[in-house]
Amino acid sequence: MHTLKQQQGMATILLVLLIGITVMLLTATVAKTLVTNREAGVAAHAQTNAQLMGWAGVSAFKEYLLNQGQSNATNITALNGRSITLRSEANKKEIIAKNIRVSGCAAEGADCTVTANISSNNLSSQAATTIEVVYNLTLANGAVAVISENSAINFGGNTVFSGATLIESESPNAKVTLNVDGSLALNLLFKTKNISELNINATGDVYIDCGAQNCGDAIINVTSRGKVTLLTGDNFGDIKALGTVTLYTSATAKNIQSIGNVELSGWSKADNIETMGNVTVSASTVKDVKANGWVSLNTGAKAGKIESNKDVSLWTGSRSQDIFAKGEVEIHTDTTAGNIKAGKKVTVTGINARAKNVETLGAVELWLGGKTDDITAKGNVEVHTGSTAGHIKSAGKVQVIGLGASAQDIYTVGSDIDVSLFATSGSTYKKQTQLSASFNAMTAPTVTINEQSIRQGISDSTAFETKVDVTVYKQDANYIFTKSGKFDRVYLNQLKNKTNTLTYIYENNSQYVLNADGSKQSINSEGFSIGDYTYNGKTYTGAICLTMTNGKCSSEIIGYLPRISIGKTLGIDDDYGYGDILKRWRVRSILNPSALDNATLAPGIMYFEGTLEFAGAANWQADSLTNAYTNSFLAEGEIWSIAFSPRIYAPYEVVREGAEKVGLICNRRLKTVNNADLPITATTPATLSERYLVPMNLCKNDNEFLLNMDKNPDQTNKKVTIDGKSIDKLDLGRVALMANGQIHIGACTRIYGDVLSRKGVTTSAACGITNSPNAITGNIGTQGVNGGLIANHVMGGTKITVPSKNGDGSGTPGTGNGLKASSSKVQWSRYL
């Protein structure tokens, strides 16, 4: 029995154990409390850190808005709907401005509000916060940076580029659209420069040969209502056509969509092909093919997955991955295919003809060394001499016949199995009432191609048209020359004399004058005279006056058409003339070359009832830098600019040579051909003003363009009607040449401004020794009316430069006038 002492000892042990457990529990509780408090402190610190990051993001996005807006206010409106990462450290911290919403920001002084959710996330501490903030920005007009370009060149009628031709952009990485209402051919030596994408839309066929220079660095996307043919280029992008698409000689394209056939040959490449027609690939590579028609891979062709609503055939040396065909599939000698699913017969024939698993609603035939893995067929299966198959499941008859023919296990439903003539098979020959539920459920593969979507996309991209008619702009011209008046008379329109402050107006084929008080007075129905005058004892040409006697002005000179002291060479006016035989106007600078600061003619918009021809100074260099015009030229007939290289600036384009050049249009001083100022009292008759007449529809003041010829008072677009259709009106200050007939440009002509023709354009280099080859820096638009077989022919040496788009129309790379942000501030904020 236990003694009392022994019991006391046990009690002591139990007490010690109980006390120990209690202490342990207390210690654990205290430890847990300490750990919880520490974690809470860490969590609080992390959350505080996330909030501080959030407010740092609020400040950072404020500065981001100001920096972007100071460059160009369009950068602010472009943020609408976007997210901007302000800070990002891998697996540590990130700050993002999300759900950006922009309101207003359309005009100087108008409201400009940006709302954003500034999200900060401390990833390592698993703490985050979001602050909704509203920013107010102040906008002002000023010099802005041009960030991106997206310009269009529009040709009406069939268009051909031949020889070394170039389309470039003044701004890097521009996206340029080339619209052609007709067929387009970009022949060998065509090139792009400073363009990231050239998007071609044509209503007719498109032919492009890029040669070894790849047409430059631009990705060329083509959309055509006709057929598309591409040769030798690595930079073709997405191709869409209603007709056949053909790639030759190493042409490489991305995705191809076509209603017609698609053909690749000569080591060409493409990514995905989707077509309602047939596909032929010869010695070329394509990733995936979807075709409503048949697909044929010929010698050396390679393809990824092939889907067809008709037949698929692989010929000698071709390769493909899986094949899905509603019709038959043929795999021939030295070809390889992946898994095959077909609606009709599958044939694998020839040495090294290989396919993986075959599943078909029709028959399967293996001939002369053809090989497959397993076969599942609702029709008969035949494995002939030298051919090999895996497991065979068939609802028809199975035959393994001939020397070297072999198969593994064979399963049929109520049909014969014939293994004979030295053929071999697996050990299982089974006739079953049914093979499997999945076997019975087999259906023919089908390809779904949204034909309507393809057609609609092509239709939308080619639903463009160019309307040109100079006659609707006659009322906007400053100098109007008529066939009846020739160069003896001219109508003055929206031209102001700076001395007597009278403004001359053309209305209803008559000449009027606006007095300083705004009252209108009729002058006559013939316009003003252009006559001779005397200066320093010599007779010169080109004075504008109301009356003329024996070819000489007999009333005060209110202005001049050409520069001062222009005379005659061999009896021909050095500055202008009218040819009675060809019935055309000629403006020229035969004897005295003209610089921009003292251009050949008075500034403004010139209108001619008929054909206009330019001629520069006759010099062996034929250099356009010696013959300058600062005008917009409009002609009801053709325009020829091919003799001795004129250099033509549309009125707004003079600022290319400096912002101060606005004065050459709006405040140009009368000078002699030697650049000496004209003393107006030294002419006979007297000259009324020391300045050229000011074109009021171009000029806001002496140093600023008006820029509103195309705008209503509320800044909406004015409209004109051409061929019964209402279209946006043009601001002629940006137009260099506009004609209802063909425009011919060559002989190193340099044009700054838009070139527009109702018919078409023909260009060529065809010049003498010069450092300034011909170029058109501006937008081109032709309508193609009666353009003939080729309405537009851009020949060797021609350069078309797409200008930078700026508010003042200057086209100076990288800069222009527009809205920019002058300040930004936080209006209010809250935690979300």
Residue range 306-340, pLDDT digits in tens: 999 999 999 999 999 999 999 999 999 999 999 99
Cβ 337 vs Cβ 358: under 8 Å? no
User: 9 pLDDT exceeds 80?
Assistant: no
Q: Count of CB atoms within 10 A of residue 671's CB?
A: 17
User: 687 pLDDT exceeds 80?
Assistant: yes
Identify the band that residue 23 occupies on the pLDDT scale cut at 50, 70 and 90.
very low
What pLDDT shows up at residue 276?
A: 98
Reduced to 3 states (helix: H, G, I; strand: E, B; else coil), residue 463 is: coil
User: 507 pLDDT exceeds 50?
Assistant: yes
DSSP class of residue 424?
B
Class of residue 438 by CB neighbours under 10 A (exposed 0-12, middle 13-18, buried 19+)? exposed
What pLDDT shows up at residue 186?
A: 97
Q: Which helix (H) or strand (E) holds 534?
A: strand 528-535
| CA-wise closest residue to 270 among 239, 312, 291 | 239
Structure tokens at 397: 């008859």
Q: Which helix (H) or strand (E) holds 17?
A: helix 4-71
DSSP class of residue 252?
B
Cβ 52 vs Cβ 32: under 8 Å? no
Q: Which of 94-98, 154-158, 522-526, 572-576 has the lowest mean pLDDT?
A: 572-576
**431 versus 649: which is more confidently predicted?**
649
Cβ 634 vs Cβ 606: under 8 Å? yes
Cα torsion angle, 282, 287, 293, 296, sign:
positive
**643 versus 7: which is more confidently predicted?**
643
User: Residue 793 and residue 784: Cα distance in Å, rounded?
Assistant: 12
Identify the band that residue 510 occupies on the pLDDT scale cut at 50, 70 and 90.
very high
User: Residue 508 and residue 518: Cα distance in Å, rounded?
Assistant: 19
Identify the band that residue 27 occupies on the pLDDT scale cut at 50, 70 and 90.
very low
User: 386 pLDDT exceeds 60?
Assistant: yes
User: Residue 716 and residue 662: Cα distance in Å, rounded?
Assistant: 25
Contacts for 547 with CB less than 8 Å, ≥ 6 apart: 529, 553, 554, 555
What pLDDT shows up at residue 549?
A: 95
Residue located via tokens 């044009």: 751
Q: Count of CB atoms within 10 A of residue 642's CB?
A: 22
Structure tokens at 754: 């838009």
Mean pLDDT of the chain: 87
Contacts for 327 with CB less than 8 Å, ≥ 6 apart: 294, 308, 309, 310, 311, 312, 342, 343, 344
Residue 658: left if φ>0, alpha if ψ -120 to 50, beta else—which one? Answer: left
Cβ 340 vs Cβ 322: under 8 Å? yes
Structure tokens at 207: 């032919």
What pLDDT shows up at residue 21?
A: 45
Distance of CA 556 to the CA centre of its chain: 53
Cβ 616 vs Cβ 774: under 8 Å? no
DSSP, residue by residue, 137-181? EEEEEEEEE----EEEEEEES-EEE-SS-EEEESSTTEEEEEEEE
> Cα angle at 135 between 133 and 140, to 5 degrees?
170
**12 versus 828: which is more confidently predicted?**
828
The model's pTM: 0.78
Cβ 729 vs Cβ 721: under 8 Å? no
Encode pLDDT of 240-282 as tens digits: 999 999 999 999 999 999 999 999 999 999 999 999 999 999 9
Identify the band that residue 91 occupies on the pLDDT scale cut at 50, 70 and 90.
low
Return phi, psi of residue 115, to 5°. Answer: -110, 135
Encode pLDDT of 691-714 as tens digits: 999 999 999 999 999 999 999 998
The pairing of beta strand 329-331 with beta strand 346-349: parallel
CB-hemisphere CA count at 13 Å for 322?
A: 7
What pLDDT shows up at residue 769?
A: 55
Contacts for 611 with CB less than 8 Å, ≥ 6 apart: 582, 583, 584, 585, 635, 637, 638, 639, 640, 741
Q: Which of 59-73, 425-439, 475-489, 817-831 has the lowest mean pLDDT?
A: 425-439
What pLDDT shows up at residue 7?
A: 41
Residue type, 48: T
CA dist 745 → 55, 152, 274 (Å): 61, 20, 42
- Helical segments of 369-466, H only: 437-440, 451-461
The pairing of beta strand 568-569 with beta strand 572-573: antiparallel
Cβ 634 vs Cβ 628: under 8 Å? no
Identify the band that residue 815 occupies on the pLDDT scale cut at 50, 70 and 90.
low
What pLDDT shows up at residue 565?
A: 87
Identify the band that residue 571 occupies on the pLDDT scale cut at 50, 70 and 90.
low
Select, from the ranges 434-438, 672-676, 819-823, the one with the highest average predicted confidence (pLDDT): 672-676
